[in-house]
């Protein structure tokens, strides 16, 4: 596919659509939009544009489609699959100005929002009305709802509450040809035809640009209690987590941090953390509306932990104590980025009982490449984040080195009945490995869907599929 560069005529048209102050051309500022949070991927856009309405998005897409200019939609830029990298240049579409909460509907337990609202800000506003939006990616202080929808974001609470797709009831979108479409509505049930909403959710900005969403929300739990449980080894911690999930107690989250990651976080934070010598740390979060019942539940969980060899059980009921328990987990990603040379940031998923074997085999695998594997993530749903770091900076420059290692990592994961991504998506970083996970027919169907939505392939091109020549 041949694309055109953004020329002066196109820039002039963009200025007419959104105003001069919302068209970014200076190279220093554009560098902010040349990458996301994925290591090693960067590509400069020709221009970045900040629309303020659905109509402006529509006009931008009409212009881009007519001139065969690629468009990369971007929310908070927190992608970990290079999904927001404008690999073919063109226009980066920044949705940050479209950040309104249009309606909080308490009667129907729904909220209508624009895509540029930051997830944490939405949560803060909903809390004033006794409501909350359950999906809670760790980047919630900077990621945006539009990006959450594009990636079908999850987070620690996914084991109890599900992921983004479980809460999106309706969307307004702009298609690549500039057509505005609405799907769904304030409806909990709707089987009128194919489920186009859930086709767009998780499509990584390749099918349509979400400009409005109707989200289901829930009442805020009035009581939250967190437990920090250190274990001697990974296997004991995983067996504990599985045992807890079989009791029917249903924690909101069961989070896992390998000991090596926990110690790196302690170094990053510059202070001692409890039981830093442990082989694994588990965080269990309980929520509900009856404090005495939750205390009974955490007593039961504590007994299960001790049965599995827990070194101790720390309980946090106050906001301060809970924040202290979660601080290492919330800082894991930044600590690894600061304390190691990141080569890849994987989000693998396997059946929960396969997690110890996955980690053991991956460590053996990356050791052959003089690399280190740092494991943490969502034990409650089998989603393990595996950051790969190296000491030898020369290795970072050898693409074949990285590709061979990642191919082996994915082969191990698939052999355990897993998948190569749980919540980060394919984006740009996993394109060449997709054929390992999906068969030829599946890929053919996906390409056909992309072609129906985007026949000129201008919307986030170069993602998910290899470029056709």
435 φ/ψ angles, rounded to the nearest 5 degrees: -70, -15
Question: Which one of 96, 118, 144 terminates a domain?
Answer: 96
* 90 plus 109 within the same structural domain: no
pLDDT of residue 369: 86
* 324 plus 346 within the same structural domain: no
Whether residue 383 contacts residue 347, with contact meaning beta carbons closer than 8 Å, is answered with: yes
Question: How far is residue 84's CA from residue 38's CA, in Å, rounded to a whole number?
Answer: 9
pLDDT average, residue stretch 104-128: 98
Question: How far is residue 288's CA from residue 220's CA, in Å, rounded to a whole number?
Answer: 9
Largest Cα–Cα distance of the chain, in whole Å?
70
Whether residue 372 contacts residue 340, with contact meaning beta carbons closer than 8 Å, is answered with: yes
pLDDT digits (tens, 9 = 90+) for 132-160: 999 999 899 999 999 999 999 999 999 99
Q: Is the pLDDT of residue 116 over 50?
A: yes
Residue with tokens 């909990």: 188
Boundaries of domain holding 167: 101-219
CATH number for the domain harbouring residue 282 = 3.30.70.2190
Question: How far is residue 4's CA from residue 187's CA, in Å, rounded to a whole number?
Answer: 42
pLDDT of residue 70: 98
Question: Which one of 61, 96, 131 terminates a domain?
Answer: 96
pLDDT of residue 155: 92
- The reply to whether 12 falls in a domain is yes
Tell me how many degrees the CA angle 425-426-430 measures, rounded to the nearest 5: 135
Tokens standing for residue 28: 């220093």
- The reply to whether 466 falls in a domain is no
Question: Which one of 53, 78, 96 terminates a domain?
Answer: 96
* 60 plus 30 within the same structural domain: yes
Question: How far is residue 263's CA from residue 29's CA, in Å, rounded to a whole number?
Answer: 36
Q: Into how many domains does the chain fold?
A: 4
**pLDDT class of 469 with cuts at 50, 70, 90:** very low
- The reply to whether 465 falls in a domain is no
pLDDT of residue 15: 98
**pLDDT class of 467 with cuts at 50, 70, 90:** low
Partners of 388 in the beta sheet?
344, 373
- The reply to whether 442 falls in a domain is no
pLDDT digits (tens, 9 = 90+) for 381-409: 999 999 998 765 545 556 677 889 999 99
Residues 6+ apart with CB under 8 A from 404: 369
pLDDT digits (tens, 9 = 90+) for 57-105: 999 999 999 999 999 999 999 999 999 999 999 999 999 999 999 999 9
* 209 plus 105 within the same structural domain: yes
* 171 plus 278 within the same structural domain: no
* 298 plus 274 within the same structural domain: yes
Chain mean pLDDT for the chain: 94
Tokens standing for residue 90: 């063109």
Secondary structure E strands in 293-431: 314-316, 341-349, 371-378, 383-390
pLDDT of residue 401: 77
Output the pTM of the full model. 0.94
Q: Which helix (H) or strand (E) holds 287?
A: strand 280-288
* 264 plus 309 within the same structural domain: yes
- 3-state SS assignment for residue 135: coil
């Amino acid at each position: 596919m041949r694309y055109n560069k953004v020329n002066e005529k196109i820039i002039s048209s963009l200025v007419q659509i959104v105003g001069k102050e919302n068209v970014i051309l200076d190279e220093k500022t554009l560098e902010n939009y040349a990458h996301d949070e994925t290591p090693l991927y960067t590509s400069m856009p020709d221009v970045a544009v900040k629309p303020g309405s659905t109509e402006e998005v529509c006009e931008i897409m009409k212009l881009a489609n007519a001139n065969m200019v690629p468009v990369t939609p971007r929310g908070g830029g927190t992608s970990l699959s290079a999904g927001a990298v404008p690999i073919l240049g063109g226009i980066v579409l920044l949705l940050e100005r479209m950040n309104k909460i249009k309606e909080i509907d308490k009667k129907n337990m729904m909220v209508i929002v624009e895509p540029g609202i930051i997830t944490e800000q939405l949560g803060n506003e909903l809390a004033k009305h006794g409501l909350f939006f359950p999906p809670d990616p760790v980047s919630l202080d900077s990621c945006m709802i539009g990006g959450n929808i594009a990636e079908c974001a999850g987070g620690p609470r996914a084991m109890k509450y599900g992921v983004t797709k479980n809460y999106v009831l309706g969307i307004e979108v702009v298609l690549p040809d500039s057509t505005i479409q609405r799907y769904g509505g304030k409806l909990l049930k709707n089987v009128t035809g194919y489920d186009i909403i859930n086709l767009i959710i998780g499509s990584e900005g390749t099918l349509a640009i979400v400009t409005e969403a109707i989200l289901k929300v829930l009442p805020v739990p009035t009581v939250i209690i967190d437990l920090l449980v250190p274990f001697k080894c990974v296997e004991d911690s995983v067996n504990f987590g599985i045992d807890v999930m079989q009791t029917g107690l249903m924690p909101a989250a069961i989070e896992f941090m390998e000991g090596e990651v926990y110690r790196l976080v302690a170094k990053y934070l510059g202070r001692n953390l409890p039981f830093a010598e442990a082989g694994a740390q588990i965080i269990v979060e309980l929520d509900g509306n009856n404090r005495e019942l939750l205390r009974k539940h955490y007593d039961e969980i504590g007994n299960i932990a001790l049965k599995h060899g827990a070194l101790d059980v720390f309980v946090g009921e106050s906001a301060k104590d809970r924040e202290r328990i979660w601080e290492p987990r919330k800082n894991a990603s930044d600590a690894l980025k600061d304390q190691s040379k990141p080569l890849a940031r994987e989000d693998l998923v396997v059946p929960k009982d396969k997690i110890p074997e996955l980690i053991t085999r991956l460590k053996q695998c990356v050791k052959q490449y003089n690399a280190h594997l740092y494991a943490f993530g969502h034990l409650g749903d089998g989603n393990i984040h595996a950051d790969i770091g190296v000491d030898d900076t020369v290795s970072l420059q050898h693409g074949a080195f990285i590709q061979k290692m990642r191919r082996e990592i994915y082969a191990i994961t698939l052999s355990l009945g897993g998948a190569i991504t749980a919540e980060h998506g394919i984006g740009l970083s996993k394109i060449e490995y997709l054929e390992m996970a999906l068969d030829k027919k599946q890929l053919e169907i996906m390409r056909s869907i992309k072609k129906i939505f985007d026949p000129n392939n201008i919307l986030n091109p170069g993602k998910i599929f290899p470029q056709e020549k």
